[in-house]
Amino acid sequence: MAKEKAYKLLAQQLGISNKKAKELIDRGIVYVGDRKVKIARAEMPDQTTFRVEYPKEAEILYEDDELIVVNKPPHIESDEIEAMLPQAQLLHRLDRETSGVLLLGKNDAFVTKALEAFKRRRVHKEYVAWVEGIVAEEMTIDEPIWTIKRGKAISMIDPLKGKKAVTHLFPEEVQGKKSKIRAVIETGRTHQIRVHLAHIGHPIVGDEQYGSVTQSKRILLHAKAIELLGRRFEAPEPADIERYK
């Protein structure tokens, strides 16, 4: 049976460019049956039939003269949301597979004030996630994180090079051998919650980069709420977060 690279077969099937097909696979939204296609250059049979699960549209939760609050769906970069809203500027970022509250400022005065609040850690951020194993007690993880950004960012616990990172964990629910937790972060290091949870032996479900052994359509992490300059905004939990399986 003849074989060809996955992205080339996908391009032929959809009638799109090889570059666009590779982007779809890299985004993590291309499947064969129930299995995600993870490697764009993987050799696959010529007759392979692909399925693309396109991301949902971003929902505007709130807007006024100063800011826009967006419920970011998974599989979309924060920069893509910013590009969709040319009058607004990102105040922070969420990882591609993370869903939830994303804030953008609409004028220079507000952006300056908001970014200063982030810098001084005067922003309250709450996440919810499903993790491997049983988390039965509240805990605080205070471990410095060092990030290497060469192409795909990767972070790790490093007492010497790392920057201070603090995550507070609160157990919410257990289903089988998975736990739903709420995480409140004092700092905003790259992949902070993911690295801290992996460090204590409870990687986020679907987060293969940091040790999850469970296949999932995405990393099950959701930015549920954020408080900035005296205002609180929340994004409803999507179905895959509200209830595991």
Residue given tokens 């599989």 in the structure block: 75
Class of domain 3-52: alpha beta
Predicted confidence band of residue 34 (pLDDT cuts 50, 70, 90): confident
pLDDT computed for residue 158 by the predictor:
96
Tell me the C-alpha distance between 230 and 109, whole Å.
16
Mean pLDDT of 89-114: 96
Q: CB under 8 Å, gap of 24 or more: what pairs does 206-212 form?
A: 206/97, 209/154, 211/132, 212/132
pLDDT computed for residue 95 by the predictor:
93
Q: Which tokens is 43 given?
A: 């050799």
The ranges assigned to domains in the chain are: 3-52, 59-242
Mean pLDDT of 40-44: 91
**Residue among 193, 200, 205 at smallest CA distance from 240:** 205
Predicted confidence band of residue 199 (pLDDT cuts 50, 70, 90): very high
Residue-wise pLDDT tens digits, 122-176: 999 999 999 999 999 999 999 999 999 887 889 999 999 999 999 999 999 999 9
Residue-wise pLDDT tens digits, 43-101: 998 889 999 988 888 999 999 999 999 999 999 999 999 999 988 999 999 999 999 99
Burial of 145: CB neighbours in 10 Å, binned 0-12, 13-18, 19+: buried
Evaluate the CA torsion angle 124, 125, 126, 132 in order and state its sign. negative
Distances (CA, A) of 186 to 60, 119, 159: 26, 11, 18
Residue 245 has pLDDT above 90, yes or no: no
Q: Which tokens is 10 given?
A: 């996908």
Cα angle 128-129-132, degrees, rounded to a multiple of 5 = 150
pLDDT computed for residue 133 by the predictor:
97
CATH 3.40.630.30 for domain 59-242: no
Note whether 3-52 and 59-242 share their fold.
no
pLDDT computed for residue 244 by the predictor:
79
pLDDT computed for residue 93 by the predictor:
95
> Where in the sequence numbering do the catalytic residues fall?
95
Q: In sequence order, what DSSP letters do the residues of the chain get, joined into one string?
A: --EEEHHHHHHHHHT--HHHHHHHHHHT-EEETTEE---TT-EEETT---EE-PPPPPEEEEE-SSEEEEEEPTT--HHHHHHH-TT-EESS---TT-EEEEEEESSHHHHHHHHHHHHTT--EEEEEEEEES---S-EEEE--EEEEEESEEEEEE-TTTPBP-EEEEEEEEEETTEEEEEEEESS--TTHHHHHHHHTT-PBTT-GGGT--S--SS--EEEEEEEETTEEEE-PPPHHHHS--
